[in-house]
Structure 1
Amino acid sequence: MTPSPLPQRTAMTTPDLPPELAELRERTRRFIRETVVDAEPVPGGRLDQATRDRLQAAAKEAGVFAPLVPKEYGGQGLAIEHWSPILQEAGYSPIGPVALNCMAPDEGNMHMLNLIATEEQKKHYLAPLAAGDVRSCFGMTEPHPGAGSDPAALRTTAVRTDGGWIIDGHKRFTSGAVGAAFCIVMARTPAVDGSPEGATMFLVDLTNPGIRVGEAIHTVDRSIDGGHPHLYIENCFVPDDAVLGEVGLGFRYAQVRLGPARLTHCMRWLGLARRAHDIALDRAAKRELFGGPIDSLGLAQHLIAESVIDIETSDAIISKTAALLHSDPKAGSAMSSVAKVHCSEAIHRVIDRAVQICGGDGVSDGLPLAQYLNEVRPFRIYDGSNETHRWAIARRASAGRRATVRAGERYLGDAVVGRDGGA
């Protein structure tokens, strides 16, 4: 007999899902709630390797492992427009994406490797990463004045030498680097053999003597395996076949990676916001104050309603952006900035309201809500600060309006004068 769907007060409204995707979502939902939630570390703790391995093996057995990875590499092969329902279910637990092998930075690296790596590179790097046998990291962020929110400030360099390249640089916030098997390193390269001057991506094994994982950067989030340490790259030789894609096109490839990666962060964290909201709803229904349950009080109802609005608007903008990334990647990448800013702030608001509804317990380790706040707060900085995205959004809006005016549409910047002479 087919089991009945699990209840979820903040259930996603996706009635048009293909049957096989709806079934995968239901399997994922059950796996997270029945297997993963009980394995969560205490608030503020980290997932140990043995539990990680056990959960990933169980995810493979349940047929929910690696949802974004092509089937030829053991994944579920989902198209980007179908990622959100599954990743939101995975994100309902902070360790769910790790259990399903769809956590940053591996998820973004697998997506990019699948699109631009050679067959030999896919065999050597993508296959073990997709299987969960190894982890990876992405080396772009640098200490000031190097690349951060502005990738054009990239200072790490790679120069040609006999049979390959010599890379020198210093990265930081290299998420996942501790224990990773390899890093995708972004480095500035000169114009070589007809290739343009710009940036190039290199696949660098972390066993290479020219690259070293340095001191840890202690951040408030705990979900990403391998932390966010410094990475030192000194006289690091890599062969020609370490180039990922084409020389000089690294910034273009970064957009291939970063647009979808921003959106998958939104999806995972929205799942966690749903979890926080459910915790708050449970508390509001069971606890009494002033002679009745908390959820009968107007102030609590306002908080609950605002959270529902933030969840639903986030869900909608994620769906629109995913559809654009599928049909028009350039427009989708631009819209991913809008999604990233909106969702990172809305998700934080939802979890913060849940803390408020739960009162003193919300800021204690008796509930996981305070840790959820710590997990999602960095998202307003990671993948480009929200201020930088707002700057880019405004520039695109202004440029787009100028283009339509030049094409003949009426200019509305001046005051419109009425027939009576009033503005």
Structure 2
Amino acid sequence: MSAGLERRGISDRALALADRVEVFVRDTVIPYEKDARQGPHGVDDALVKELRALARAAGLMTPHIPEGGAHLTQRETAAVLIRSGLSPLGPVALNTAAPDEGNMFLLGKVASDDLKARFLAPLMTGEARSAFFMTEPDGGAGSDPSMMQTTCVPDGNHWVINGRKTYITGVVGAKVGIVMAKAAEGACMFLVDLPHPAIRVVRILDTIDGSMPGGHAEIAIEDLRLPADQMLGAAGEGFRYAQVRLAPARLSHCMRWLGACVRAQEIAVDYTNRRHAFGKPLIEHEGVGFMLAQNRIDLKQAELMTYWCADVLDTGAYGTTESSMTKVAVSEALMRIADNCVQVMGGQGVTADTIVEKVFREIRAFRIYDGPTEVHKWSLANKIARDWKKAQPES
């Protein structure tokens, strides 16, 4: 892994931690990649428990939030999470995976001390998983969260929530839920213990990816009654809190999948140096070598964008524009890298003999999750237009 860029503005302690994470993933996690306790809907909870026990024994559980609860800077988090992503199982083992990583960040920022003790603490120890209930079926909230149809209505010192959600990652087996709903005052966020009888799994969706425990589900929420003190903040602040979560979460995705593509490149380089065709190693054929050269360029550009955006978020800004730009640039670059790795490996690239084909599938989903490229470009174009109008002299 490249160390030069990381060393700027990162403590020796955080760099040493990142190095320990890399050793753990390479030596301990990667041997589990062919474990049968993985399927189309994610990693089985028994495997999650086993891997997390190993991380805990190594002193690496939730490494980006060291003991005491002080979250690393985003720049330091990048150094750690990139390493955790060297295996698709790494984030699961180390408790740096979505949606838990983003949910922990949000709760650490906005939850009361009581809510942190009840809901955040078991997430940080890796003893619980979580789910974030925002996206809805057709006609509801998705890329446009203002279309939210799930409602919450006050009833004494409680709120009653009704609606449907979809693409809810990790809800099967989760113990903590963050539910977004719309009140007269605007969007609201609530914390809920899972499973809950008022939250019903309608179906588990069959998706192209399969790295996240619990898969992705369609959910029905029917008369979910929650005490008012389980609301995050005040009524109407839900969208503001969503930005607190979503901007860093987009960047964390970039970090983890950058690590996965670093590993895919390693595998492809090894394969093309060992495999011969037409009298020489594959890598000596320009058509192959040039793709791997482009991969190296894209990896470096993705790394630069990731650390740049981390620096913006470390200023305390939500960094919505910067995280959108980074999500677009990095996800598209990683897609090219994964595709090139599959291509240069030929038939071997589309088998499960290595993680390359899995990384390809996961990156394809990443281009959509947390906002597809086109939505982020649309948002950026609107900002460009607004900035231009503000810059015009008054007539």
TM-score (norm 2): 0.95
C-alpha distance in 2 between matches for 1:405 and 1:309: 38
Superposed, 1:20-419 pairs within 5 Å as: 20-41=13-34, 45=39, 46-69=42-65, 71-73=67-69, 77-190=71-184, 197-330=185-318, 332-406=319-393
Partner amino acid, structure 1, of 2:342: V
Partner amino acid, structure 2, of 1:187: A
C-alpha distance in 1 between matches for 2:195 and 2:86: 35
Partner amino acid, structure 2, of 1:274: V
Distance 1:378 1:277, change over 3 A: same
C-alpha distance in 1 between matches for 2:21 and 2:355: 21
Partner SS for 2:216? coil
Query: Is the 8 Å Cα contact of residues 255 and 333 (structure 1) preserved in structure 2?
Result: yes
Distance 1:206 1:18, change over 3 A: closer
Partner SS for 2:374? helix
Partner amino acid, structure 1, of 2:147: A
Which structure is higher in strand share? 2
Query: Is the 8 Å Cα contact of residues 71 and 77 (structure 1) preserved in structure 2?
Result: no
In the TM superposition, residue 70 of structure 1 has moved relative to its aligned partner by 5.1
Query: Is the 8 Å Cα contact of residues 65 and 101 (structure 1) preserved in structure 2?
Result: yes
Partner SS for 2:203? coil
Query: Is the 8 Å Cα contact of residues 352 and 373 (structure 1) preserved in structure 2?
Result: yes
Partner amino acid, structure 2, of 1:269: W
- Alignment-derived partner of residue 4 in structure 1: none
Partner SS for 1:276? helix
Partner SS for 1:324? helix
Partner SS for 2:143? coil
Partner amino acid, structure 1, of 2:46: A
Partner SS for 2:250? helix
TM-score (norm 1): 0.89
**Which consecutive unaligned segments of at least 5 residues does structure 2 have?**
none
In the TM superposition, residue 13 of structure 1 has moved relative to its aligned partner by 4.0
Tell me how many residue pairs correspond in the alignment: 391
Query: Is the 8 Å Cα contact of residues 17 and 63 (structure 2) preserved in structure 1?
Result: no
C-alpha distance in 1 between matches for 2:274 and 2:66: 44
In the TM superposition, residue 367 of structure 1 has moved relative to its aligned partner by 2.4
Query: Is the 8 Å Cα contact of residues 25 and 86 (structure 2) preserved in structure 1?
Result: yes
The structure that has the greater radius of gyration is 1
